[in-house]
Chain A
Amino acid sequence: MKVKKIIFMLFTVVISASLLFFLSGCKGAQTTTVTNTTTKISTQTTTITDISTLTETITETVSGQPSTRTIVDDAGRSLVIPTTINKVLCCGPVECILTYMLAPEKLGGWCFLPNSTEGADYFDTQYADLPVVGGWYGKSTGNYETFISLEPDIILASDAATVEERQQFFGSIPVVSINVFDNYNTMPESILKMGDLLGVEEQAQKLVDFYEESVDYVTSVLTNVSEEDKVTVYYAEGDGGLSTDPSGSQHTELIDFCGGLNVAVVDDQTGFGMTSVSMEQILLWNPDIIIIGRAADATLYNQILSDPIWANLQAVKDGRVYLRPNNPFSWFDGPAGMNEIVGIYWMIQTLYPEQCADLDLKAKVQEFYLDFYHYNLTDADYEALMANTINTA
Chain B
Amino acid sequence: MTTQIETKCADNIKKPVSFWKKTPTVTLILFISLILLFIISFWLGRYGVSPAQVIQIFLSKIFPITPTWPDIMETVIFDIRLPRILAAILIGAALATAGTSFQGLFRNPLVSPQILGVTSGAGFGAAMAIVISGNPAIIQISAFGVAIAAVAISWLISSRVRGNPTLTLVLAGMAIGALFSALTSLMQYMADPEDELPEIVFWLMGSLNSIYMKDLIPVAIIIIVGITVLMLIRWRINVLSMGEEEAKALGVNTTQLRAIIIVCASLITAAAVSISGMIGWVGLVMPHIGRMLVGPCNKKLLPVSALLGGIYMLLIDNICRTALSVEIPIGILTAIVGVPFFLYLIRRGKQGWV
Write the residues of chain A forming the contact surface with B, with a CB cutoff of 8 angstroms: 3-4, 7, 10-11, 14-15, 18-19, 21-26, 28-30, 32-33, 131-134, 136-146, 148-149, 161-162, 165, 168-173, 251, 271-274, 276, 294-295, 334-336
14 more contacts with CB within 8 A, not counting A7-B255, A25-B218, A165-B212, are A3-B256, A4-B255, A7-B256, A7-B263, A11-B152, A22-B141, A25-B215, A26-B141, A165-B136, A165-B210, A168-B212, A171-B72, A273-B192, A273-B197
A143 to B84, CA, bound (A): 12
Tell whether, in the assembled complex, residue B191 and residue A271 are in contact, meaning their CB atoms are under 8 Å apart: yes
- Closest partner residue, chain A, to B131 (CB atom): A271
Tell whether, in the assembled complex, residue B145 and residue A19 are in contact, meaning their CB atoms are under 8 Å apart: yes
- A134: chain B residues within 8 A (beta carbon): 325-327
Tell whether, in the assembled complex, residue A142 and residue B193 are in contact, meaning their CB atoms are under 8 Å apart: no
Among A24, A143, A148: residue with most chain B CB under 10 A? A143
Nearest CB in chain B: distance from A244 CB, A: 11
Q: Which of B31-39, B41-49, B90-98, B279-287 binds A?
A: B41-49
Q: Out of B72, B198, B199, B326, which one reaches A148, CB within 8 Å?
A: B72
Tell whether, in the assembled complex, residue A161 and residue B135 are in contact, meaning their CB atoms are under 8 Å apart: yes
| Any A CB within 8 A of the CB of B252 | no
- A131: chain B residues within 8 A (beta carbon): 325
Among A15, A132, A133, A271: residue with most chain B CB under 10 A? A15
Tell whether, in the assembled complex, residue A140 and residue B202 are in contact, meaning their CB atoms are under 8 Å apart: yes
Nearest CB in chain A: distance from B26 CB, A: 32
A32 to B214, CA, bound (A): 9
Flag B196-225 by CB within 8 Å of A: 1 or 0 each: 111100100001011010110110011000
A201 to B134, CA, bound (A): 33
- Closest partner residue, chain B, to A36 (CB atom): B79
Tell whether, in the assembled complex, residue B71 and residue A140 are in contact, meaning their CB atoms are under 8 Å apart: no
Flag B304-333 by CB within 8 Å of A: 1 or 0 each: 000000000000000001001111000000
Can you offer 29 A-B residue contacts whose CB atoms are under 8 A?
A3-B255, A7-B256, A18-B144, A18-B222, A18-B267, A18-B271, A26-B214, A29-B137, A134-B325, A138-B194, A138-B195, A138-B202, A140-B207, A141-B326, A143-B46, A144-B209, A145-B45, A145-B321, A146-B46, A146-B325, A161-B134, A165-B136, A169-B79, A271-B131, A271-B191, A273-B194, A274-B193, A294-B193, A295-B193
A271 to B190, CA, bound (A): 7
Tell whether, in the assembled complex, residue A29 and residue B212 are in contact, meaning their CB atoms are under 8 Å apart: yes
A345 to B74, CA, bound (A): 50
- B72: chain A residues within 8 A (beta carbon): 148, 171-173
- A251: chain B residues within 8 A (beta carbon): 194
Nearest CB in chain A: distance from B201 CB, A: 8
- Closest partner residue, chain B, to A31 (CB atom): B214
Instruction: Give the size range of B's interface with the partner.
Output: 35 or more
Among B46, B48, B148, B267: residue with most chain A CB under 10 A? B46
Tell whether, in the assembled complex, residue B192 and residue A26 are in contact, meaning their CB atoms are under 8 Å apart: no
Residue pairs across A and B with CB atoms within 8 Å: the count is 160
Flag B119-137 by CB within 8 Å of A: 1 or 0 each: 0000000000001001111
| Any A CB within 8 A of the CB of B2 | no
A134 to B328, CA, bound (A): 11
- B152: chain A residues within 8 A (beta carbon): 11, 15
- Closest partner residue, chain B, to A20 (CB atom): B218
Tell whether, in the assembled complex, residue A29 and residue B326 are in contact, meaning their CB atoms are under 8 Å apart: no
A303 to B131, CA, bound (A): 33
Nearest CB in chain B: distance from A121 CB, A: 19
Tell whether, in the assembled complex, residue B215 and residue A26 are in contact, meaning their CB atoms are under 8 Å apart: yes
- Closest partner residue, chain A, to B75 (CB atom): A171
Tell whether, in the assembled complex, residue A170 and residue B195 are in contact, meaning their CB atoms are under 8 Å apart: no
Dominant secondary structure at the B interface: helix
A131 to B148, CA, bound (A): 42
- A294: chain B residues within 8 A (beta carbon): 193
Check A143/B218 contact, CB under 8 A, given A3-B255, A173-B72, A273-B194. no
A379 to B221, CA, bound (A): 65
Tell whether, in the assembled complex, residue A272 and residue B135 are in contact, meaning their CB atoms are under 8 Å apart: no
A4 to B218, CA, bound (A): 28
| Any A CB within 8 A of the CB of B76 | yes
Q: Which 3 A-B pairs have the closest CB atoms?
A: A171-B75, A29-B214, A138-B198
Nearest CB in chain B: distance from A26 CB, A: 4
- A138: chain B residues within 8 A (beta carbon): 194-199, 202
- A132: chain B residues within 8 A (beta carbon): 325-326
Check A4/B194 contact, CB under 8 A, given A14-B267, A145-B321. no
| Any A CB within 8 A of the CB of B259 | yes
- B4: chain A residues within 8 A (beta carbon): none
Nearest CB in chain A: distance from B251 CB, A: 15
Check A272/B190 contact, CB under 8 A, given A25-B215, A143-B326, A146-B325. yes
Q: Out of A133, A145, A165, which one reaches B76, CB within 8 Å?
A: A145
Tell whether, in the assembled complex, residue B71 and residue A172 are in contact, meaning their CB atoms are under 8 Å apart: yes
Q: Out of A4, A24, A169, A271, which one reaches B196, CB within 8 Å?
A: A271
- A19: chain B residues within 8 A (beta carbon): 141, 144-145
Q: Out of B46, B134, B202, B212, which one reaches A139, CB within 8 Å?
A: B202
Nearest CB in chain A: distance from B332 CB, A: 12
A139 to B141, CA, bound (A): 21
Check A21/B256 contact, CB under 8 A, given A30-B137, A168-B212. no
Among B74, B190, B207: residue with most chain A CB under 10 A? B190
| Any A CB within 8 A of the CB of B60 | no
- Closest partner residue, chain B, to A131 (CB atom): B325
| Any A CB within 8 A of the CB of B101 | no
Check A28/B75 contact, CB under 8 A, given A133-B325, A141-B326, A145-B80. no
Tell whether, in the assembled complex, residue A145 and residue B199 are in contact, meaning their CB atoms are under 8 Å apart: no
- B190: chain A residues within 8 A (beta carbon): 271-272
Nearest CB in chain B: distance from A41 CB, A: 13
A170 to B198, CA, bound (A): 23
| Any A CB within 8 A of the CB of B159 | yes
- B197: chain A residues within 8 A (beta carbon): 138, 273-274
Flag B158-176 by CB within 8 Å of A: 1 or 0 each: 0100000000000000000
Tell whether, in the assembled complex, residue A271 and residue B326 are in contact, meaning their CB atoms are under 8 Å apart: no
| Any A CB within 8 A of the CB of B7 | no
| Any A CB within 8 A of the CB of B27 | no
